[in-house]
Structure 1
Amino acid sequence: MSDRLYRTVRAGYMALTDCAPLIIAQELGFDLQEGIRLEPVRMNSWSGIRDGLAFEKLECAHMPGALALAMHLGLSGMKTGIRVPLLLGHGGNGITVSTDLYEEAAAILGSAMPTTRSESGMLVRVVAEKRKANKQPRLRLGAVHAFSSLNYELRAWLAHAGLDPDVDVELIVVPRPKMVEALAIGEIDGFSVGDPWGQLAVEAGIGRIVATKADLYPYSPEKVLAFRSAWVEGHYEIAVKTAAVVSRALGWAAQEENHAELAQILTQEEYLDLPEEVLSRALDCKPKLAPDTDGEPVARYLDFSGDNQPTTADAMWLLAQMRRWEQVKPGCEADVAEVFKPFEPIGSTVAKLEVGSKKDPAAAAFDGVDFTEGDVEAYKQAFAV
């Protein structure tokens, strides 16, 4: 087929390991087999992706699920109707603290050091309490966007340790490419970010990954494939084909025998331009968590397998986090109920959507708080902070 006969679909992405399905769909030609040309567009910030989608510079994008809801509700940037037909896997996030903070906490705690990553917020608590007692500045922790699981996981982790994230520490937004540098110069004491940036801080000897999304909320939604609703309405068949080829790429990326090739592709300059070894560890769920150690097995650290079709429960879970942290007023359930919804297949689409086992987004949550998609407010009220 001549290039001019392919319909180009521009897909924004950030240079994170979990952008892999978009890259693979194009690199392995899954898109051309459906008669479309997927054009991955590397962006520098989530705000840039948000605005690119809103102002029609992109047709779809790799983005945090919460940001997709925030766009739809008019809470971030220009209010834009959004449709999410596909989750882009699970996991990939990590909370990293500086080696200085870790060592200071270890000296205070001694034999009382937390033995599980889900309880590691205690490291921040004891140092924060020491600083408060000495009338020193609060610890500063970074996240890349307010409307992201990275922000919610950091807040929940701190609250679980007995800290009020808005009082006892200072949370700031730091651009993803500046995270490691900010940690190195002491501008921040830790951060919550997607792979591979935590591993890069560990590689540099300046940080330790003390908790991962897999330790906190292993089945909760993470990045999604988001479309402008208006574009979908006018180009439904193309949208369906786009989601289908990305779903096919998810299935390919989930296969362990493909991880070496996937890492080689992602390491290229036009994509992530990062060390292949670091990417391979993430793909194999064996991230490097501390300096002078090898990769450590972390189940579901980054998982492209399973059922990646979105559900109303996924949307309500994210809305519940937004409610918990007072980002949205009550009563938005009906507005977001149709956002996370798979496309209906059309005719003879070659690449069928991958389907596997689906768990509740709150399954195995580290805080043990029950979640019911029909009662967001009850979830919010279950927390003291």
Structure 2
Amino acid sequence: MTLNRRQAIAATAALFAAARAATPRGAFAQSPTTPEVRKAVLGYIALTDAAPLIIAKEKGIFAKYGLPDVEVSKQASWGATRDNIVLGGERGGIDGAHILSPLPYLIHTGRVTQNNQPVPMVLLARLNTNGQAISVAEKHKPLGARLDASPLRRAMNRESKFAMTFRGGTHDLWIRYWLAAGGIDPDGDVQTIVVPPPQMVANMKVNTMDAFCVGEPWNDQLVNQRIGYSALVTGELWRDHPEKALGMRADWVERHPRATEALTAAVIEAQRWCDADANKPEMCSIIGRRAWFNVPVPDILPRSQGNIDYGDGRRVENFPLRMKFWRDHASYPFPSHDLWFLTEDIRWGVLPSNTDAKALIAQVNREGIWRAAAERAGVPASEMPSGPSRGRETFFDGKVFDPEDPAAYLASLTIKKLAGA
């Protein structure tokens, strides 16, 4: 039988209708980049460097990349972040987080988990560089400790307390480096204690600590309440140092490779937005809301813009070593930086001295996913780093970390506490 043109069109339409009816709903919208899931649960701590996750949620950027149901869930402390990652999103915990850069490695190796049970982790992006500070109680201001911590030696003893946010994390490493460079042993001469970031100012107010290292906005809030001063901002300790990261459970990443790339692309787009000077007031207004930080914008905005009141008479405007979310490759997770973190955790006995740091980085750092996600987010080639290393890094005291020879760096450090296997 020969079909005329009208019959042929009708038959073709019927075939398409039958195919559509036989195909799972929504399949025609699928593409090679469509996420396998619409949701991930991400933790955050009330710190300014969590802004990319909050902005990606608030401005619909996660939804733009096919992840409209992403939850960004406040965590009480880094210990709670760790515990909820171990639990996992499917069991009421979280799938990933705004996290201290070394922490994915410490969870991956089981060094900080219950019964030392490893939970495989992946590091997908750096969230920021710079933007932390070491602040000192008002009573010690006359000593004049700044980048040089040694003036504090006149008032310190084994009862003196220096707070950080998690053993082996970035804030622990910054305050230890600063103290040791000033000839103060953070394990032998004073006590280092753990305090969650949002509780730092309250603890300083009741005189339970002598100094602390934490991210913003807590240092600026301390100064605004006139109960202490910032000895330094951490970009002065190490210029454009890496800070927080986007870390995920490895099993989530392995099950959802397209969603992982989409999630990372959304965070990258949010980082680029956060880093634009024109967006800083809106960013601080959003993250300061009761639902996120519950912190006044004047406690967040000035240091985000590089305007720093140290609280001891020093003021700087438009400081170049402010928190960066994107510029100068702030988002790219340089494996060479992870090597420094692991070397410092070996220095202070958090990791054993026989740790194969480079093998560990190969397991955890997924900079290849970052590159694919950055391309998907429309990042021009000129804004991507050419290689996985930023090269030799020089610290304020003249020490040099060469990622080609971390052992030489470790040997050059006078004060350290190494652990065996």
CA RMSD of the aligned region, Å? 2.4
Distance 1:167 1:348, change over 3 A: closer
Paired residue type of 2:57: Q
Residue aligning to 1:41: 73
SS in 2 for 1:90: coil
Residue aligning to 1:382: 412
2:147 is aligned with 1:123: no
What is the TM-score with the length of structure 2 in the denominator? 0.81
1:370: how far off?
2.0
1:31: how far off?
1.1
Distance 1:361 1:166, change over 3 A: farther
1:61: how far off?
0.5
Q: Report if the CA contact (8 A) 1:315-1:339 is conserved.
A: no
1:297: how far off?
4.2
2:390 is aligned with 1:366: no
2:169 is aligned with 1:148: yes
The one of 149, 165, 185 equivalent to 1:164 is 185
2:73 is aligned with 1:50: no
SS in 2 for 1:227: strand
2:225 is aligned with 1:204: yes
Q: Report if the CA contact (8 A) 1:314-1:340 is conserved.
A: no
Distance 1:9 1:340, change over 3 A: same
Residue aligning to 1:336: 361
Paired residue type of 2:67: I
What is the TM-score with the length of structure 1 in the denominator? 0.88
SS in 2 for 1:274: coil
Q: Distance in 1 between matches of 2:240 and 2:97?
A: 21
Tell me which structure has the larger Cα radius of gyration: 2
Residue aligning to 1:306: 328
Matching of residues 113-262 of structure 1 within 5 Å: 117-119=146-148, 121-128=149-156, 138-262=159-283
Paired residue type of 1:19: A
1:33: how far off?
1.1
SS in 1 for 2:308: coil
Q: Percent identity?
A: 26
2:116 is aligned with 1:87: no
Distance 1:347 1:55, change over 3 A: closer
Q: Report if the CA contact (8 A) 2:134-2:214 is conserved.
A: yes
Deviating more after overlay: 5-14 vs 225-234: 5-14
Q: Report if the CA contact (8 A) 2:56-2:266 is conserved.
A: yes
SS in 2 for 1:166: coil
Residue aligning to 1:64: 100
Q: Distance in 2 between matches of 1:148 and 1:347?
A: 26
Q: Report if the CA contact (8 A) 2:141-2:312 is conserved.
A: no
Q: Report if the CA contact (8 A) 1:221-1:361 is conserved.
A: no
Q: How many residue pairs end up in the alignment?
A: 365
Residue-by-residue CA offset, 1:125-145 (whole Å, 9 max, x unaligned): 2322xxx5xxxx632111111
Deviating more after overlay: 323-332 vs 234-243: 323-332
1:347: how far off?
9.9
1:361: how far off?
7.2
Paired residue type of 1:88: L
Distance 1:370 1:79, change over 3 A: same
Residue aligning to 2:340: 317
Residue aligning to 1:73: 109
In structure 1, the gaps of 5 or more residues are 107-113
- Which of 1 and 2 has higher RCO (CA within 8 Å, sep 6+)? 1
1:60: how far off?
1.6
1:237: how far off?
0.4
In structure 2, the gaps of 5 or more residues are 1-25, 27-35, 416-421
